[in-house]
Chains A and B, each alone.
Chain A
Amino acid sequence: DVKVTQSSRYLVKRTGEKVFLECVQDMDHENMFWYRQDPGLGLRLIYFSYDVKMKEKGDIPEGYSVSREKKERFSLILESASTNQTSMYLCASRGTAGTQYFGPGTRLLVL
């Protein structure tokens, strides 16, 4: 089974802090994604990566950056956390046939 893990299930940070969310997949997938999920807004794509050191902006990249130094690891960085970044963050890895496998999610609260 594909396994996608995220570094934290719950995180509480203060406004202005730099926040790192880590995601690791064990299936040697080239494509990885970061989404955020908010009530009433569904899943929104923040960034995706199609190879090591390669990244593309998604629909809502403002306030975020990403890092992909190794194939299995895709990190989301909030340079200076703000309260409107309180959300559920989901990492996904794309396998064959277009299927995406999601991690358990990180629920981030920015105070």
Chain B
Amino acid sequence: DAKTTQPTSMDCAEGRAANLPCNHSTISGNEYVYWYRQIHSQGPQYIIHGLKNNETNEMASLIITEDRKSSTLILPHATLRDTAVYYCIVSPLIQGAQKLVFGQGTRLTINP
């Protein structure tokens, strides 16, 4: 699996956009970028994923650079409930069982 690099921690003001970067310079052509988050004492929550194109859903937007070596997760209007550890994962889309490997992630704190 390709490795990812994320900042250890970030702060963002409530109501502002939170932009979480992720470097994945060794990503392979068949690997997707997935984002999950884990709020304290809860199970990880899927946020979004993408291959090449930018993606948006009701939770967030994912911007992937043209060379695919990095990406940014954008929470457009952060709330206090978005305080969590955010994990960027690269993995191929395969059939059968797929193991997710979570790194250390970015601890995002939303401040009032």
Contact = CB atoms under 8 A, between A and B. Distances in A.
Interface in A71-109: 90-92, 94, 97-105, 107
Nearest to B93: A98
A58 interface: yes
Contacts of B97: 31, 33, 48-50, 56, 94
B42 A104 contact: yes
A98 to B, nearest CB: 5
Interface string B38-58: 000111111001000000000
A104 B43 contact: yes
A58 B99 contact: yes
- Secondary structure dominating the interface of A: strand
A12 B93 CA distance: 38
Contacts, number: 59
A10 B42 CA distance: 12
A42 B38 CA distance: 12
Contacts of B101: 42-43
Nearest to B92: A98
Interface of A: 4, 31, 33, 42-43, 45, 48-50, 56, 58, 90-92, 94, 97-105, 107
21 contacts: A4-B43, A31-B96, A42-B102, A45-B99, A48-B97, A48-B99, A49-B97, A50-B96, A56-B97, A90-B43, A90-B44, A91-B43, A94-B97, A97-B49, A97-B93, A99-B34, A99-B46, A100-B98, A102-B46, A104-B43, A105-B43
